Structure 1
Amino acid sequence: MKQRVLIRIEGTAINGPLYIQAAQHLGLHPITLSADPDQHDYIAAEGLEPVRVDTDNLEALIHVISQLREIYDIAGITSDREAFYATAAKLCRYFGLPGPNPAPIDRCCDKFTQRRLLEDAGIPIPDYRLAANAAEIESAAAEIGLPVVLKPVVGVGSTGVLLCRTVDELAKHTTYLLGGKHTWRSSPRVLVEEFAQGPYYNIETMGNEVIGIGTGDIESPPHFVFREGIFPAPLTDDEHALINDVSLSCLQALDLGWGPANIELRWTERGPVVIEVNPRLGAGPQLVQLAYGVDLVTEHIKLVVGEKCDLRRKHSHTAAWRNLNPDRDGILDWISGDIQAGAIPGIAEVKLYAKLKTPIVRKGNNRDCIGYVIASSPSAAQAEAILQRAVDLIRWSITPFPTP
């Protein structure tokens, strides 16, 4: 009998290990296809070896998967990386496996197209314009009014996203985006949008169901680097109901009703305003599992292999998290206290990304953090207190780069 396998297209350092472990727990052998296997250190740590293939080439992927199908029983194909989620969906259709419709995913990954679909459905979003050159960016910002947010039409993790509060900041970031420093996966297109101000909320969904609503704080605008948050967010019944309704309306407007999605919004003077809808699992499945006992990664894999998922809550706790964000660029000399922090009762995970004696170069996106800490407790106040106690134990030293 052939071994049942789960094919993953690329992956992320945050959710990737969770998908591998969940697949193995379900009796599936995970195989990752990657254009650069060396970037996936966590796969080697599990004793596995990725298969090298050009993951931007659909025909190449079909060829490799066809070869693997001669050896294995391919139970499902997916990806936890947004740029390849539509590719995985196309492969599912080609090989007759369960999966989402790739067309809505492609449309959703284009932030301008997403904006138009949400606007047509009457869903509150920031005022926005599409721009392809410096003159169009300047004109759009003048029409909307400063401050504005500039972001690539296609991208993830706040890469290339900046709050521009002055004409000089606008011009400088325009030069960065269009002057060759930003890496574009397609032709340069920039979204110029109103800065929606208010508390940030992060909604995790599966199918047509809202699983939970979290909240988070930004480290230091003009960059959108997250510092900390809690799950579930403290909301009144009316606030929860309104966010729930807006989230379900987003899924309907974008035709996303299969598998996971992640919705980001801010509660402004006019109520919830949708910032972005991501057609894949968000970065907080551990938070959902700690808070509600629902393992979104496992349940997603069940869908992928044609099984029924179980989204029933097992308990009601609070999970609190903190990113470890460096305050300077330079060389990481040492970091300590993570072992002691991890031993504190109520601490669910302490994760360090950065390696000693390696350069730290902040770019103003989610890759800036050098680690994170997650705490959990039946009490929200206790979860936050446990988290703070653990974070206070973690120290590091960064030697600044020599000044030219």
Structure 2
Amino acid sequence: MTSEVNPSGIVTDGTNPIDLYIDYSTCVSEAIQSSYYQAVHPVIVDCNPVYYSIKGNKITEETTDRQMVYQLLRSVKEVNNAEIKVAVNKIVNGNRQAVLITDGEYFMPGVTGDNLNNPYLAEEFRTWLKKGHDIYIYSEPYLESNKFNKYRYYMLFTDCTIDNNIQQKFQRSAPADPNVKMFHLSMKAPGVTFDKTYPQINDALSMNEAVSSANNHYEVEEFQTGWEDIYSYLKENAVDAMGNPLPKGDFVMRGLFLKSSDSDAFKISELDVLTYNVYPSYAELRDSITNNGAMPKCTLGEPLSKVFVIDEDIYKKTGEIVLRLDPDFDGSSLSSEGPNLLRVDIVVKKSEENFTTNPQLAQNFKWTSISARNAGRENTSLYESIRQVLIDPQMHPENYSDKVVYTFYLNTLKM
């Protein structure tokens, strides 16, 4: 069977499209006592994975047979000092979804011991995230050997753009347990939700024969008028459907909200808007198709100045995205020669990591060391692996190649 590759670059079909890595140390050898661990077996088996065992420094492909996967998950025999770092390195340098079940404790005989505060997975996490992918980590608290409070981690390496990905399957099947917390690592800009079926366009414009279409990624608005009239409607004659004046009526669009959760790696603190006139590229494409010519390369060019702004006060207070005319709008950056087909990108301008400032979640990535050398001290190796990634400015959504939250295409007449 030929495997299909998602636009993200990840293989999404084939006989065994998921890799499963199992840490054979105490955390999983005792896991059969865990109702949560047992409850997630069906979804793991149903993903038809390739099963890999991590026994000390040996990583072995055990089986691709579903029945054997089920049996192996229920019969893990303890082999300590799992080579977790090598396993994760294999995952992030591949092109397949993967699941790793481990306690995150990376013990190496010798001076480093249990790598007490060594961010040993930071570079591997960066590698996966820089590809534009996602990591979802479920942390299940458990008592090891009846005396050590630790966590069992279910690390899901996937991409949220894949339909019915391993995270979606796991989320549907895993039992609701308030003690098990999920953390989502991603550089992507967040998605959006609407307070209606799609964003609200100012009544002053929607009464003017506006033609709308929208989905979760972009919206198209076509106004059968020019910018002189649009400016007049918004700045001077802004009224609602009943003809009543609108307060701060110069908004073009509102009713859009970012999807956000306490489990997200980043909180978006500031947004920006970038506006481009793409009519020249559209005209070039149209003419090329008409003349059976080569497909031209579409370029956005430099953003136009002084067209739209985001209402920062409203966003900070309520989280609503309100698009307004720039206070200094004078139309000088718009075309007076032809139509203005505008692409309006709402983009991430500034984000803040949501890990170190989220102690109720971050505490699930620390545990008390059980090694003889560091007994009683806090092991923060996995915590630091995540923290070092998130405090790196280059890993923030505003520095990702695609920082667009939502796009409007506004088709209007010339200025």
TM-score (norm 2): 0.28
Larger Rg: 2
TM-score (norm 1): 0.28
Structure (1/2) with the larger helix percentage? 1
Higher relative contact order (CA 8 A, sep 6+): 2
